[in-house]
Amino acid sequence: MNFKGIKIDCHYSDGEIYIELIALPSEGDEISFSVVIVKHGEALTSLLNNDFEVLIEDETIKLNKTIKRLDKLKRRLLRFKNFLSEDNLWRTEEEIRFREEIVSEYNTEYFLMTRDCAEYFKSLCRSSGTEYFKSLIDFAFIGDETLSQYPIPDRLFAFSRAEHDNFDKFFYDNGFYSRLDFDTFRSFYSSPDDFLATFKDRMDINESDLPVHEKALKLLELEHQGRQRTYFFTYGYKLNNINQLMALELTEIYKRNLPIKKCACCNKYFIPQKRSDAIYCDGISPFDTSKSCKEYGARQAWQQTLKTSESAKLYRDIYMSKQMLAKRNPDMADYKKSFEKYKQEAKRWKVDVKLGTKTELAFIAWLKEVKEKKVL
Ligand SMILES: [Zn+2]
């Protein structure tokens, strides 16, 4: 299959972005081949990391969601609908089977098409300006110790000035100076999105000759009836290439003051979801596939501490032996008491050492005394 480009429909709401990927085959059709909802910044990091699974959804979900959009299938189903009379539509088993056959026939075709679309999208990603965005993000958002003293806006400004000609050319070449299709209140929606009023009641109001504000007031009275609804305000753009998606994402990240990090374990870009000082991502660790980078990293850091810190090693040895005594002798309250007391006092010591009110050496000396059972 040949393509002449892509379109990306991108809608932002409070915590999420709805992204629809549409391939443009040379015949002039549009094929929607992926619809995903991701967190802010996730589309950008997935492109930087070449992790396409984030943007290209699971085959089965994709099929259920977007098969409706296939014009060809729609036309065929419409013909089928006309063929049957209104009264018995979708009712008999025979009809249902017939419908399923049509859908499955198109499923196969659809799978083949979407596979081509996904491959085309990946090839575009590989030839897009990912490296350019990486150099910008590395300088402005990540940086090393020398850069950390400067705020992100200053760094962004400096980068764009130092790279002036390239920066302008890059943005010009990617169509940033042409207007993008903007879309807002049209997709303002509510949850639950079902109606309280009957279809007939709503139609009666809609088709009446009342002025618009009276129609709206009547609909409001009908639908509201004391029920709580949550509204989602969204806005978005129709984009024409992957670089526009990366630039839009970066704009949103900047506007929302979100950090961009590079994982200390897998070295991939990520947006911390909970703690902005996170150093590990939630992805699978490249060193141990049964653990996330976060789990793996925490363990490594702890083992490193054990190796380098005498107090941590002593603390852990005593902890283990007291815990074991308490566990093996559940009838002897003293062991449990001693274990609890140790945990409490050691905690106080750690805080004091951290605050600088007591020294690491004093802590080690205390731990040694505990180990030799002089105290506790
Ligand atoms: Zn990671």
Q: How far, in Å, CA of 69 to CA of 62, rounded?
A: 11
Per-residue model confidence as pLDDT tens digits over 90-111? 445 666 666 667 666 666 676 7
Identify the residue whose tokens are 């002039």: 28
Mean pLDDT of 213-228: 83
Ligand 1 centroid distance, CA of 49 (Å): 11
Per-residue model confidence as pLDDT tens digits over 56-72? 876 544 554 444 445 55
Residue with more model confidence, 165 or 69:
165
Q: What is the pLDDT of residue 173?
A: 80
Q: Report the predicted TM-score, pTM, of the whole model to 2 decimal places.
A: 0.67
Sequence spans of domains, the chain: 3-182+235-251, 193-230, 309-371
E strand or H helix at 281, and its extent?
A: none
Ligand 1 centroid distance, CA of 293 (Å): 5
Q: What is the pLDDT of residue 81?
A: 53
Ligand 1 centroid distance, CA of 145 (Å): 21
Q: How far, in Å, CA of 205 to CA of 69, rounded?
A: 30
Q: How far, in Å, CA of 106 to CA of 102, rounded?
A: 6
Q: What is the pLDDT of residue 103?
A: 63
Ligand 1 centroid distance, CA of 7 (Å): 30
- 45 three-state secondary structure: helix
Ligand 1 centroid distance, CA of 279 (Å): 9
Ligand 1 centroid distance, CA of 270 (Å): 8
Percentage, residues of the chain above pLDDT 90: 33
β partners of residue 32: 22
Ligand 1 centroid distance, CA of 290 (Å): 13
Ligand 1 centroid distance, CA of 260 (Å): 13
> Whose CA is closest to 345, among 315, 321, 373, 374?
315
Q: How far, in Å, CA of 305 to CA of 156, rounded?
A: 36
Q: How far, in Å, CA of 295 to CA of 302, rounded?
A: 11
